[in-house]
Structure 1
Amino acid sequence: MAHAEGAVAMPLPAPVTTPVTTPGAVDRLTVTVRGAGRADGTYELKCHPHGGSHPDARGACGRLDRNTTWSRSPFTPVPPGTVCTMQYGGPATARITGTWAGRPVDASFDRRNGCEIARWDALVPVLPAVHRHR
């Protein structure tokens, strides 16, 4: 590719992969878990700074920060029509509501197939680690 004399080719900027946070905002989520045994319950999770009744607020906030970018939310559902393995990960379900990165959240989770299991596991420790039921 030819460049005008004296022009400097600049590399394209790297995609943004840093967490999306609003300065001074506290992210607040309510995490309700059912069917996961001892981890069942409703927990409040606050991030930036971390706190609330969640059993691992620091780890959960860190996981959410790592899984959030300008273009990706950790709460996005599996797209309709996605081909998923037909495996059952147990009866655990969860619902997360509140505000994250300045956006409202109302997300449901279960472990009914391989895609949903992977989606759940990507949020551990926000959601509890669940071992496959046989």
Structure 2
Amino acid sequence: MLRRLVVTAAASLASVAALGAGLPATAHAEAAPLPLPTLLAAPDHLTVTVSGSERRIDGTYRLDCSPAGGTHPDPEAACRRLDQLTAERRDPFAPVPADAMCTQQYGGSTTARVTGRWQGHAVDTTYSRTNGCEIARWNAMVPVLPAPGRAR
């Protein structure tokens, strides 16, 4: 029974896609069906938790994208930054490579944890400012993460 349901659903989706592919050139883009991954993807939302700062930036913020919203102080700018990094084919949540050579500078005790979903992928990563590589990784995520030296 489950197999029949799956086959029927797949055939239905294929039919809808085939109909959308045959749209005339004058049809509006909005009329075309969404690609299957877009239909099945969970909405983009992240939880950003900042702690250990000596300024008043500690807290937990929810960031929703598409459309931008949540409790984040600047959701539009944060979503634009994530979209920009993704368009540049950079994983905004990738850790510093294990073999990276990093300067031994200390940017403070502030840490951040980001969890949730981004473009259909689960996110669970942490950020710190413990060396030059981690500071650069943090700075690349501003305004998703708070800018150094500035309270929000």
Q: Normalising by the residue count of structure 2, what TM-score does the alignment of the two structures yield? A: 0.68
User: Does structure 1 residue 32 correspond to structure 2 residue 49?
Assistant: yes
> What is the correspondence of 1:98-113 to structure 2 with a 5 Å cutoff?
98-113=116-131
Which structure is higher in helix share?
A: 2
Q: Aligned-pair distance for 1:35? A: 2.0
Contact 1:28–1:46 at 8 Å: present in 2 too?
A: yes
Asked if 1 retains the 8 angstrom alpha-carbon contact of 2:42 and 2:117, the reply is: no
CA distance in 2 between partners of 1:56 and 1:114 (Å) = 26
Aligned length: 112
Greater RCO, 1 or 2 (C-alpha within 8 Å, sep 6+): 1
Any gaps of 5 or more consecutive residues in structure 1?
1-20
Task: Report the counterpart of residue 148 of structure 2 in structure 1.
Answer: 130
Root-mean-square deviation (CA, aligned residues, Å) is 2.0
1:77, 1:108 → 2: CA distance? 8
CA apart distance, 1:81:
1.7
Q: Distance in 1 between matches of 2:104 and 2:38?
A: 39
Query: Which residue, out of 92, 96, 99, partners 1:81?
Result: 99
In the alignment, structure 2 segments of 5+ residues that lack a partner are 1-36
Q: Are the counterparts in 2 of residues 110 and 117 from structure 1 also a CA contact under 8 Å?
A: yes
Which structure is larger by alpha-carbon Rg, 1 or 2?
Answer: 2
Which AA in structure 2 matches 1:22? T
Q: 1:22 maps to what in 2?
A: 38
Q: In 2, distance between residues paired with 1:126 and 1:95?
A: 11
The 2-side partners of 1:71 and 1:65 are apart by 10
Please tell me whether residue 64 in structure 1 is matched to residue 82 in structure 2. yes
